[in-house]
Amino acid sequence: MNKKGLLLSLSFWLVFIAIIAYLGITVMQGGAVAGVKGEWHINFLTKNYLEAEQKLLNYDSLIYNTAVNVAWEMAPNGGFIIENPSPCGKTSNGVSLWYKEGTLCLPPIEKALEKTKSLLQKKIPTKTYHNLEFDKTIFRGEGEKETISSDVGTYTFSTSFFIDWGYSYGEYNQLTGEAWQILLQCSGAEELQSCLDKNKPEHWKYSSCITPQFVQEKGVVIFCVESPKRYVLPVGEELYRPRELVTYNLALDLFYAFNPTQ
Amino acid sequence: MKFKRIGKKGIVSINLLELFSMVAFTVIIYFLVSLLLFSGIDSAHKESKDNVAAFKRVDAGVQNLRVLLQEGANLQLINIETTAERSGVLAGKTITSCTDYIVERDCIDDTTAISDGTFLCKWAGELCYAQYQGFR
């Protein structure tokens, strides 16, 4: 081999060894770096979509709790909110009257929506909800759009909600109708208890739903009405809250005869 | 500028040993390159699948919390983000809270380690539930 050949041969082997060394080191370090499929998409979903889902769940939880709290405030108050008590007043033990001395004071159920909306405003001050509506067991509302920005992009989502909370304020319509019937049948009756026993629905209990007992005070009878549709709502402040049957406390003054034309 | 030409002798003067060495090195390079590419692709695939699995796990965790909310749970008492992220997968089912365990042994052992130390999973009446330490 002459000098030129030797030089060529040496250069060739040097390059050869360098390539093998590079490949060997790369393999030892975990192989060639190939692009991870769907990396951007997963990052986008994790940093934006999941973040949004968690936020929405948090909002839904606040909204659900608010609706439940208002329902539990109203039911023992005969359907009245604390700020707007019955115009007929209350009995000596604090039960809201639906009928007193010829005046009918039925609960204004639309107040439930107003109260829920004002509480929501306090609990989620950064959000404003429009067209809030209780439709059967669905509570829904339109929220503004919210945007989440991360290093992989921007995600805009609607904060409108649609929650099936398993309770309907429509139940008050049934209770109102039943109260109306009781007033028509038994107001002014001499044998009040026997009239009520005959005419009140099964889910209307006297005084207490646990230990019903007929008590009247100058014709005023207190009722504990079990939810006719057997609606249950969570009670308490624990994570796993027990759900209890909704019961309504109300009183009717049956001393005076009821005149529906008044 | 003139380039010096390498003579024919320089090019063809390779002995038999060098020829065999070259063939051997070529084979080695071939395997190294193959290994390099396959291991690279394999680790990229693995990372991709791991990323999807992690996303699905947390997403399923959020959906499990939605079910809890539907059952009346007070989610304001927990951190939704960390609870969803602590979700584990057991036999294809995503476990986010104690109530997701359906086997007594898994419940007691907290197989997927969902507890952050504030609660223990307890089995009672064919159901798994969380027993909070201290204040709850």
**B25 contact residues in A (CB cutoff 8 A):** 16, 20
Mean pLDDT of chain B, nearest integer: 85
Which one of A37, A152, A239 would you mutate to disrupt binding with B, by most B Cβ within 10 Å of its Cβ?
Answer: A239
pLDDT for residue A73: 96
pLDDT for residue B1: 46
What the block records as the tokens of A148 is 């989440």
What stretches in chain A show pLDDT beneath 70?
1, 27, 30-34, 261-262
* Ranges of each domain in chain B: 14-132
pLDDT for residue B103: 92
pLDDT for residue B21: 81
**A239 contact residues in B (CB cutoff 8 A):** 73-75, 77-78, 130, 132, 136
pLDDT tier, B18 (very low <50, low <70, confident <90, very high otherwise): confident
What span, in angstroms and rounded, lies between the C-alpha atoms of B57 and B89? 7
Give the tens place of pLDDT for each residue, A124-156.
Answer: 999 999 999 999 999 999 999 999 999 999 999
B15, pLDDT greater than 90: no
Which sign, positive or negative, has the C-alpha torsion A55, A58, A64, A67? Answer: negative
* Among A54, A103, A83, residue whose Cα is nearest residue A252: A103
pLDDT for residue B136: 40
CB contact under 8 A, B10 and A4: yes
CB contact under 8 A, A50 and B42: no
What ipTM does this complex have? 0.83
Backbone angles phi, psi at A205, to 5 degrees: -110, 155
Which chain A residue has the Cα nearest residue B73?
A240
CB contact under 8 A, B48 and A33: no
* Ranges of each domain in chain A: 40-253
CB contact under 8 A, B32 and A20: yes
Q: Euclidean distance between the first and final Cα of chain A, in Å?
A: 128
Q: Residues, chain B, total?
A: 136
Give the tens place of pLDDT for each residue, B52-104.
Answer: 999 999 999 999 999 999 999 999 999 999 999 999 999 999 999 999 999 99
* Among A157, A153, A146, residue whose Cα is nearest residue A44: A153
Please, how many CA atoms are within 13 Å of residue A67, restricted to the half-sphere of its CB?
Answer: 28
